[in-house]
Amino acid sequence: MSGIYIHVPFCKQKCTYCDFASYPRELCKAESYFACLYREIDGRSKQFPGRVIDTIYIGGGTPSVVDAKFIAGAIRQVKKCFHVRETAEITIEINPGTVDEQKIKEYKSVGINRFSIGLQTGFDDQLKKLNRIHTAKDFLTCCNLLKGENISADVLIGLHDQTLEQVKKTVDLAIAGGVSHISVYALTPEVGTPIYTDYLNGELLSDDETADIYDGVREYLKAKGFDRYEVSNFCKQGFRSRHNMNYWKRGEYIGVGVSASSFMNDKRFTNTFSIDEYMNAVIYNKSPEISNDLIEEKDARFEVIMLALRTTDGLNVKEFNKKFGIDFDTEYKTQLLKKGKYLLRDGDNLKIKDEYLYVQNDILLEFM
């Protein structure tokens, strides 16, 4: 299967933790940007002909901040240029403070059937501190507009003075909104973001405190009927994110727009992070890429292991051996002995034990 990622680099204001390619003061360029985006989609379809598209994901930035006609145009262009399955999962990220009934109607009219809402926390004081533009009430209003749809919510842990009880109440809010999928992300204070100063000042939760909250919310979500299928992702039965599953299975995907990455034909390439550079490249029929790398086999092997062990499905050793023409148990004998107590083996299936999945990095590094 193949997926398409569409990046919308606009937002109303930057969140304190945001390190993505999003530009609050560039919204005036939306019309020109999308004209270039449509052109890149056409170009990518000629570069990779015959691809069948199973998933489309519109991320940002804040895709819902732009006029819905631009989003609709992007979906129509993908469907015009590629073969998109009728059963395709089509997701858009939305901020609760930027949508209304008409926008939702337009999204649904072009086949968008999954909505990922950036909730982050159910407490208005925390939202304000994060520089979010919405309230907890806005989230419920948004969910009401999407009633009956496939809804996911993002939740952040590791915030200033955050408690497990607060995270549980945030989960309760999401469930009250009718979500079928919840992503729980640990706050990562990136260099250059405002919240990084708070991290340097010791104002954020420690890694151990955040890990304790994660363990608590994992158990809480399980009790509420949300099964973990990847380290940060939980859902009701049948509601896994198909687009993200393609990433974790190391499937192919095409990224279009500013900063978008692609993985096709064992090559990984990424577009420029500058809106002006991106538009100029597309207008003058040049590539907007700033990197284009062929993945060597040893790196490919690690990627397959690393991505698979992020999930609760784990790694299929038989498929791995067939793909690379090696014997996994022989090749990684030392690593398996060293980290064996953290791993669970069942026939051809290898995975990290449930209690160690959150602290997987130490385990995965052994396979690098």
Tens of pLDDT, residue by residue over 77-133, are 999 999 999 999 999 999 999 999 999 999 999 999 999 999 999 999 999 998 889
pLDDT, tens digit, 9 for 90 and up, residues 44-86? 999 999 899 999 999 998 999 999 999 999 999 999 999 999 9
Of 6-20, 151-165, 333-347, give the lowest mean pLDDT range: 6-20
Count the Cβ atoms, other than its own, within 10 Å of residue 101.
9
Per DSSP, what are the bridge partners of residue 261?
Answer: 270
| Residue 263, in any domain of the structure | no
Task: Specify whether 203 is located in the same domain as 88.
Answer: yes
Q: How far apart are CA 291 and CA 314, in angstroms?
A: 30
Strands across the sheet containing 315-316: 315-316, 349-352, 343-346
Q: How far apart are CA 262 and CA 255, in angstroms?
A: 5
Mean pLDDT of 265-279: 96
Mean pLDDT of 203-224: 93
pLDDT for the residue numbered 170:
98
| Residue 291, in any domain of the structure | no
pLDDT, tens digit, 9 for 90 and up, residues 284-329? 999 999 999 999 999 999 999 999 999 999 999 999 999 999 999 9
Determine contact, residues 138/97, Cβ cutoff 8 Å: yes
Give 56 or 204, the one with higher predicted confidence.
Answer: 56
Mean pLDDT of 22-40: 93
Place of tokens 């994660």: 214
Task: Specify whether 123 is located in the same domain as 183.
Answer: yes
Determine contact, residues 53/20, Cβ cutoff 8 Å: no
Task: Specify whether 41 is located in the same domain as 148.
Answer: yes
pLDDT band at 1 (very low <50, low <70, confident <90, very high): low
pLDDT for the residue numbered 184:
97
Task: Specify whether 310 is located in the same domain as 235.
Answer: no
Q: Report the percentage of the chain scoring pLDDT > 70.
A: 100
Task: Specify whether 81 is located in the same domain as 148.
Answer: yes
Q: How far apart are CA 108 and CA 253, in angstroms?
A: 23
pLDDT band at 360 (very low <50, low <70, confident <90, very high): confident
| Residue 212, in any domain of the structure | yes
Task: Specify whether 199 is located in the same domain as 306.
Answer: no
Count the Cβ atoms, other than its own, within 10 Å of residue 109.
11
Q: How far apart are CA 134 and CA 2, in angstroms?
A: 34
Per DSSP, what are the bridge partners of residue 116?
Answer: 93, 152
DSSP assignment of 141-162: HHHHHTTTSEEEEEEEES-TT-
| Residue 35, in any domain of the structure | yes
Task: Specify whether 240 is located in the same domain as 320.
Answer: no
**How many structural domains is the chain composed of?**
2
pLDDT for the residue numbered 203:
83
pLDDT for the residue numbered 22:
80
pLDDT, tens digit, 9 for 90 and up, residues 162-178? 999 999 999 999 999 99
pLDDT for the residue numbered 86:
95
Sequence length of the chain is: 368
Task: Specify whether 233 is located in the same domain as 310.
Answer: no
Task: Specify whether 242 is located in the same domain as 107.
Answer: yes
Mean pLDDT of 202-230: 94
Q: How far apart are CA 161 and CA 251, in angstroms?
A: 39
**Mean of the per-residue pLDDT values of the chain:** 93
| Residue 195, in any domain of the structure | yes
pLDDT for the residue numbered 363:
87
Task: Specify whether 119 is located in the same domain as 243.
Answer: yes
CATH number of the CATH domain containing 358: 1.10.10
Q: How far apart are CA 161 and CA 232, in angstroms?
A: 21
The tokens describing 32, both together, are 């020109």
Task: Specify whether 227 is located in the same domain as 304.
Answer: no
Determine contact, residues 55/246, Cβ cutoff 8 Å: yes
Task: Specify whether 32 is located in the same domain as 129.
Answer: yes
pLDDT, tens digit, 9 for 90 and up, residues 231-265? 999 999 999 999 999 999 999 999 999 999 999 99
> How many CA atoms lie less than 13 Å away from 285 in the CB half-sphere?
0
pLDDT for the residue numbered 18:
75
| Residue 267, in any domain of the structure | no
Domain span at residue 232 reads 2-247
pLDDT for the residue numbered 202:
82
CATH number of the CATH domain containing 62: 3.20.20.70
| Residue 239, in any domain of the structure | yes
Give 22 or 317, the one with higher predicted confidence.
Answer: 317
Is the pLDDT confidence value at 339 over 90? no
Question: Which residues neighbour 65 within 8 Å (Cβ) at sequence distance 6 or greater?
Answer: 8, 10, 11, 12, 27, 95, 98
Determine contact, residues 5/260, Cβ cutoff 8 Å: yes
Determine contact, residues 167/157, Cβ cutoff 8 Å: yes
The tokens describing 139, both together, are 């989230």
pLDDT band at 141 (very low <50, low <70, confident <90, very high): very high
Is the pLDDT confidence value at 189 over 80? no
Give 187 or 143, the one with higher predicted confidence.
Answer: 143
pTM for the full model? 0.94
| Residue 194, in any domain of the structure | yes
The tokens describing 249, both together, are 């299975």
pLDDT for the residue numbered 299:
93
Is the pLDDT confidence value at 194 over 70? yes
* Helices marked H in the chain: 30-47, 68-81, 101-109, 124-129, 136-145, 164-176, 194-200, 207-223, 242-248, 275-283, 297-309, 317-324, 328-331, 333-339, 361-364
